Amino acid sequence: AARPEAARPAAACPVTGPEPALFGWEFATDPYPAYAWLRENAPVHRTTLPSGVDAWLVTRYDDARQALADQRLSKDPARHAAATAARGKTGIPGEQRAGLFAHLLNIDPPDHTRLRRLVSRAFTPRRVEAFRPRVQELTDRLIDGFAARGTADLIHEFAFPLPIYAICDMLGVPAEDQDDFRDWAGMMIRHSRPGERAAPRGGVARAVKRIRAYLEELIHRKRAEAAGDDLISGLIRASDHGEQLTEAEAAAMAFILLFAGFETTVNLIGNGVNALLRHPDQLALLRAGLARGDERLLATAVEELLRFDGPVELATWRFATEPLTIGGTRVPAGDPVLVVLGGADRDPRRFTDPDTLDLTRQDNPHLGFGHGIHYCLGAPLARLEGQRALATLLTRLPDLRCAVAPEELRWRGGLIMRGLRELPVAFTPVG
C-alpha cells in the first residue's frame, strides 16, 4: 500500500539544493546524500574525477544494473587509453594493460569467457565450503590476539589480516611467506601496521614487482610438483577443451584473486561492524539470535550490510565502445562510465526504506557484487568470511562497542573502495 508522503524516507522525496561537492572530505565520510542528489537530479552525470579524467557516474538502480551487463561497455582500459590519448590524459598507467593486470576485470569476451570458465573450474563453491573450518580457525586466532586487552583496532588487527591469510592459504602460499603478502598488500593500499607510517606512494609499483616475481616462482614450482590440492595447483591443471592457462595467465589470475578479494573483504567487515555498532536495535537482534546459537539471520544480515554500506565505491570502470544511451543520456564512444553501486543500492525506486538498515530484509537484489559477466567470482568466499567474522566477533566479545564518536572515524578517500582507515573498539577483556 502507498505510504503517506510524510513517512517516506528523505531519499524518496525530491532532493533539492545545489549540486553537492563530490570527492571532498565530507563526501568520503558520507557519500550517500550526494548520491541521492545525483540520483534525483543528474542520474547519468559527467564529472571530472580528482585524477583529471572525465567520466560518467550512473547512480540509479535500473540504469546501473543495465550498464553492468551492457557489453558495449568494455572493461579493457586500452579502449579508454586509445580514445583519450589524443587528449593526453589517460589516467591509466601503461603497466595496467599488461602483465598481472591482464586479468578478468580488465578484459572482454572472448578472452574473458575463456579465462572465467577456466578459473571457475578451480575456484568452485565446493572448494570454498571445504575451506569453512580454516576461515573459522583464522578468525578465532586473530581475535585471540587482542581479546585479553579490552581494546583493538578492528581494521588493522582483524579485518585487514583475515582475508589476506584466507586467500593466501587457499591459493597455497606457504605459511612462512604469508606475512610478506600482508606487507605487500599493505603497500598496495597504503595501509601500515599499527605504529608504522603509511607506505609511500612509490610502494605500489614496488609491491606489484615483488608480487609478480613471487607468484611466477610459486607457479613454476607448483607446476613442477603437479600434485597440490591448493587453488594455484587447480588453476594450473584446469583445462577447457584441452586448453590451459599459460603461466602468465595463471599469475594474473592469482593476482586478481588476491587483490579483488582483499580490500573488498576488509571493507565488508569494517563497514559492516561499524554499521551494526551504529544501529543498536539491529545489533541486538543479531546478537540475540547468535546467543541462542541461531545463525539464521546472518545470511540476510551480510547481504543487507553489503547493500547499506558496501565495500566497492567506484571500482566499476567501463568504457563506451560506441555511442550509447544510459537512462536517456547520450554517452559518446570512448568515455569512461562508473557505475556507482552505493547510489544504486540506496535507490528508493528499487528498495523499500533504502536508508534504513534492516537485517531481516528479504527483497534485496543489491549490486554490491556487481552484475552480468563480471559478477564477483569470489562472492561465496566473501560471504563465508563476512558471516564467520561477524558471528565470531559478536559471540566472543558480547559487549563490543565503538571506542570513538562517528565524526572521529576516518574514511579512506580513494574513491575506488569505501572503507575505514581504522575502527577503534572496546569490550570487556576475555581470557
Q: Contact positions toward ligand HEM, by CB under 6 A?
A: 68, 104-105, 116, 167, 256-257, 260-261, 264-265, 268, 310-312, 316, 368-370, 374, 376-378, 381-382
Nearest CA-CA partner of 154 in 358, 381, 397:
397
Burial 57-69 (b: 16+ CB within 10 A, else e): bbbbbebbbbbbe
Name the residue nearer to ligand HEM (CB basis): 374 or 427: 374
Three cell numbers at 299? Answer: 545470511
Sign of CA dihedral 313, 316, 320, 324: negative
Least distance to ligand HEM from the beta carbon of 376, Å?
Answer: 3
Indicate the pairing of strand 336-339 with strand 401-402.
Answer: unpaired
| Residues paired with residue 240 on neighbouring β-strands, in sequence order | 243
Three cell numbers at 66? Answer: 543495465
Name the residue nearer to ligand HEM (CB basis): 352 or 387: 387
Name the residue nearer to ligand HEM (CB basis): 34 or 312: 312
Three cell numbers at 400? Answer: 563490543
Least distance to ligand HEM from the beta carbon of 391, Å?
Answer: 16
Give residue 88's identity as a one-letter amino acid code: G
Name the residue nearer to ligand HEM (CB basis): 123 or 427: 123
Least distance to ligand HEM from the beta carbon of 314, Å?
Answer: 10
Least distance to ligand HEM from the beta carbon of 65, Å?
Answer: 11
Name the residue nearer to ligand HEM (CB basis): 234 or 370: 370
Name the residue nearer to ligand HEM (CB basis): 37 or 369: 369
Order of strands, edge to edge, in the sheet holding 54-58? Answer: 44-48, 54-58, 336-339, 317-320, 73-74
Name the residue nearer to ligand HEM (CB basis): 264 or 274: 264
Least distance to ligand HEM from the beta carbon of 378, Å?
Answer: 2
Helices (H) and strands (E) in the chain, counts: 18, 12
Least distance to ligand HEM from the beta carbon of 371, Å?
Answer: 7
Give residue 12's identity as a one-letter amino acid code: A
Helices (H), 131-202: 132-144, 154, 161-171, 178-188
Least distance to ligand HEM from the beta carbon of 15, Å?
Answer: 25
Least distance to ligand HEM from the beta carbon of 281, Å?
Answer: 24
Backbone dihedral region of 174: left (phi > 0), alpha (psi from -120 to 50 degrees) or beta?
Answer: beta
Q: Which residue is nearest to ligand HEM (CB)?
A: 378
Name the residue nearer to ligand HEM (CB basis): 172 or 261: 261
Indicate the pairing of strand 329-331 with strand 54-58.
Answer: unpaired
